[in-house]
């Protein structure tokens, strides 16, 4: 079993070869009973999105050679594989963040592993601070686009030699968040009776791990950012590079301060607690989206959503 390692031994960003990605994909496939078509990444406090998965098999990240391990509270660090709304899925309970010390190529390695396993759709969730002053804690923002501040200076998971088997050298990022899936999610929000809670907006990826200053929040607001976090964009860049269809949403776990008279003090315990308090709504949205994809593909979704608590 090959470990994930630098192709040349000289790459600052530790380029991970196609062969190393394939070895991880084959290792997982050899241990599971279904061939997943949907990949799910659970954000901070949102690990229970996996609770609706039936016939679940769990694999701890530490038991997958070459896979990183989770170090952040609220990220359990395991794969959950099974059936959801009639489709085989692979969910990550725990993602990898740049601030944990991993290079971006390693943070987003699981997305490439999903692609090589045959997965077609990626559903990404995260906890984020609400920069848009109209957003409330507990709102769900469907991500229409992102601003990848970490990537502006070339810190990209795509940096280094490009292997065309994983995607093109210069991928476009237009429609990286599948517009049809966003439209469908807005209909789903109406069906669920939560159209006021569900927004559509722009996510901004900052490196963290500190939360933002008030001046930074004011700048992000001016730049058109609606929600800010420390994840997702690098995963979506890789997903778009390798041709996965992406649906993503942010749970607004805290409001960002735009005013020195109204200071907010973000903290991770609160972020995780808000995630837990909104888990059933987030899970239902996710399940209904998967059910609609199952229907489109002609797979037999269960008669009712079965995800409500
Ligand atoms: O993006 P997720 O993993 O949901 O987590 C968000 O919450 C943490 C900060 O509280 C950061 O890791 C930020 O990115
Ligand atoms: N950067 C950042 N990440 C978050 N994750 C959850 N809330 C926040 C926030 O306010 N800022």
Instruction: Please provide the DSSP assignment of 96-157 as one string.
Output: --GGGT--HHHHTHHHHHHHHHT--EEEEEEEEEE-STT--TT-EEEEEEEEEGGGTTT--T
Taking 70 as the threshold, does the pLDDT of residue 270 lie above it?
Answer: yes
pLDDT of res. 45:
84
Q: Verify whether residue 100 is a known catalytic residue.
A: yes
Verify cis geometry, omega within 30 degrees of 0, for the bond prior to 209.
yes
- Annotated binding residue 205: no
pLDDT of res. 49:
87
Burial of 14 (0-12, 13-18, 19+ CB in 10 A): middle
How many angstroms does the Cα of residue 196 sit away from the middle of ligand 2?
22
Domain ranges of the chain: 18-297
pLDDT tens, position by position, 60-71: 999 999 999 988
CB contact at 8 A, 93 and 43: no
- d(C-alpha 249, C-alpha 247), whole Å: 7
pLDDT of res. 307:
52
Other Cβ atoms closer than 10 A to 64? 19
- Annotated binding residue 146: no
Pocket test for ligand 1, best of 100, 110, 271, 272 (most atoms within 8 A of CB): 271
CB contact at 8 A, 120 and 245: yes
For the domain covering 18-297, report its CATH number: 3.40.50.1580
pLDDT tens, position by position, 236-256: 999 999 999 999 999 999 999
Q: What is the mean pLDDT of the chain?
A: 92
Helices then strands (H, E): number in the chain? 8, 9
Q: Verify whether residue 189 is a known catalytic residue.
A: no
pLDDT tens, position by position, 147-163: 999 999 999 999 999 99
CB contact at 8 A, 40 and 123: yes
Q: Kind of pairing, strands 245-255 and 140-148?
A: antiparallel
pLDDT tens, position by position, 7-62: 444 444 468 999 999 999 999 999 999 999 999 999 988 888 899 999 999 999 99
pLDDT of res. 11:
40
Q: How confident is the model at residue 305 (pLDDT cuts 50, 70, 90)?
A: very low
Q: Nearest 5 degrees, angle CA 160-CA 165-CA 169?
A: 40
Catalytic residue among 2, 18, 48, 99: 99
Taking 60 as the threshold, does the pLDDT of residue 6 lie above it?
Answer: no
Percent of the chain with pLDDT over 70: 92
Which value does ipTM take for this structure? 0.99
What residues form DSSP beta bridges with 140? 198, 251
CA atoms within a 13 Å half-sphere pointing along the CA-CB vector of 243: 9
pLDDT tens, position by position, 156-204: 999 999 999 999 999 999 999 999 999 999 999 999 999 999 999 999 9
Q: Verify whether residue 75 is a known catalytic residue.
A: yes
């Amino acid at each position: 079993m090959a470990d994930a390692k630098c192709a040349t031994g000289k790459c600052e960003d530790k380029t991970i070869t196609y062969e190393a990605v394939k070895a991880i994909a084959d290792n997982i496939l050899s241990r599971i009973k279904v061939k997943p078509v949907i990949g799910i990444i659970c954000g901070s406090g949102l690990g229970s999105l996996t609770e609706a998965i039936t016939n679940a098999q769990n694999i701890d990240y530490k038991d997958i050679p070459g896979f990183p391990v989770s170090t952040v509270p609220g990220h359990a660090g395991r794969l959950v594989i099974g059936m959801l709304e009639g489709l085989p899925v692979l969910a990550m309970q725990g993602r990898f963040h740049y601030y944990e010390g991993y290079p971006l190529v390693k943070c987003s390695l699981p997305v490439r592993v999903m692609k090589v396993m045959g997965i077609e759709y990626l559903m990404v969730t995260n906890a984020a601070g609400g920069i848009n002053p109209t957003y409330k804690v507990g709102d769900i923002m469907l991500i229409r686009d992102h601003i990848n501040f970490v990537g502006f200076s070339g810190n990209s998971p795509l940096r280094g030699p490009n292997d065309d088997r994983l995607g093109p050298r210069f991928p476009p990022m237009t429609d990286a968040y599948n517009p049809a899936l966003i439209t469908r999610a807005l209909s789903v929000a109406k069906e669920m009776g939560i159209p006021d809670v569900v927004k559509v907006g722009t996510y901004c990826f900052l490196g963290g791990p500190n939360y933002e200053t008030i001046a930074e929040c004011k700048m992000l607001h001016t730049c058109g950012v609606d929600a800010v976090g420390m994840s997702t964009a690098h995963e979506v860049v890789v997903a778009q590079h390798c041709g996965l269809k992406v649906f993503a949403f942010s749970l607004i776990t805290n409001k960002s301060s735009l005013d020195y008279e109204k200071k907010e003090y973000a903290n991770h315990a609160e972020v995780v607690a808000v995630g837990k308090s909104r888990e059933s709504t987030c899970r239902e949205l996710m399940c209904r989206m998967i059910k609609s994809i199952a229907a489109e593909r002609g797979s037999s979704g269960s008669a009712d959503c079965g995800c409500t608590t």
